[in-house]
Structure 1
Amino acid sequence: MSIAVSAVVKPSRLLRGTLAVAAAIHLAMACVPLAAPGAFRAPWLIAACCLAAAAGAAGALVSAGNKRRIDISGLGEMRVTVQHKLAQEVAQAAPCRLLPGSTLWAGLLMLLTRGDDGKTVVVAVFADSVSAEEFRALAVAIRAIGGQEAQDQVFFRLHKIL
């Protein structure tokens, strides 16, 4: 049985919605200490922290729009390509290795990868980012790659489900 799979991972609507709600809640919470300054010791500091958290969530919301393509060959070689925003040109896919610490759950794949350039990248694949068939095929292929790596080294940690 071949583990070859190719999947286009779109930005997750669930993640984008959660980030938007978090940004809105932090923005609203920044107003609370300013509305009742006597109830708090340092209302401006609390408001500034809430605004910083809202800005962080909004920044993550903006950067969460990259489309990725994951290609896994029948021999277990993995390539990840990133398409930034709506750019027509896609970066060349370089081979990468799946690292220990990657985690597979029922609705989320957190893949820790390292390319030939030594750069470590976390690729999050949510269940709503791909079709159900692609998600299952990716999970099976990633488990197979992890099984190949486990023969050479301690790949799995006790708390990981890969």
Structure 2
Amino acid sequence: MSIAVSADIKPSRLIFIVMASACAGVALIGIGLGLLMPGHPSLSLRVTIAVVCILAAALALFSLLRSRKTIWLHISGTGQIRVVEHLLHGNTRAKPQVMKAGLAQLLSGTTIWPGMLFLRLKLENGKTRTIPILPDCVPDDTFRALTVACRWLISHNVAKAQLMEK
């Protein structure tokens, strides 16, 4: 059985909507604390709390927008994983600009659920990267193929670990 899979993983719109809503909620809580908490704390403390909440929400939203990159993931038939980050320009005919590329290993904290994958990968430079993959990131058949390939990799990694212990 060949497990070779290639996928362009686009940033999830669902994760973006949830995180943007959470940021908006934090900002609204800050504004609510600043305006609707009369009496007990001083005005300067309420304004400080409101400003800190708004800044934290803006920083989180900026961080979220900055980390949205398209990732090309290739799992070979032997189980080797190659990860390539790239930016697509507005013109879809132009070639994507490669940001980072390298080999990776699937780590044990990888989560595979029917509607969501969280791939924990150890990159060549030693860093750990988590890639969330929801069904809105890839086509349905690619999502199923990625799920099967990751389950195969996990089962073979467990088998290798058991052989190493003996």
TM-score range normalised by the length of the shorter chain: 0.7 to 0.9
Q: Are residue 138 (structure 1) and residue 146 (structure 2) matched?
A: yes
Tell me what 1:24 maps to.
24
1:65 Cα deviation (Å)? 2.1
TM-score by length of 2: 0.82
Cα distance in 2 between the residues matched to 1:45 and 1:138: 47
Cα distance in 1 between the residues matched to 2:142 and 2:130: 19
Percent of pairs with identical residues = 33
Tell me what 2:2 maps to.
2
Cα distance in 1 between the residues matched to 2:149 and 2:72: 15
Question: Which structure: larger Rg?
Answer: 2
1:35 Cα deviation (Å)? 1.3
Tell me what 2:71 maps to.
68
Provide the aligned C-alpha RMSD in A.
2.1
Q: 1:6 to 1:17 in 2, by over 3 A?
A: same
Q: What are the ranges of 5 or more consecutive residues in structure 2 without an aligned counterpart?
A: 90-94
Cα distance in 2 between the residues matched to 1:52 and 1:92: 30
1:63 Cα deviation (Å)? 2.2
Q: What are the ranges of 5 or more consecutive residues in structure 1 without an aligned counterpart?
A: 155-162
Tell me what 2:110 maps to.
102
Q: Are residue 57 (structure 1) and residue 60 (structure 2) matched?
A: yes
Cα distance in 1 between the residues matched to 2:25 and 2:124: 41
Counterpart of 2:138, as a letter, is V
Aligned residue pair count:
154
Which of 82, 85, 99 matches 1:82? 85
Q: Are residue 93 (structure 1) and residue 93 (structure 2) matched?
A: no
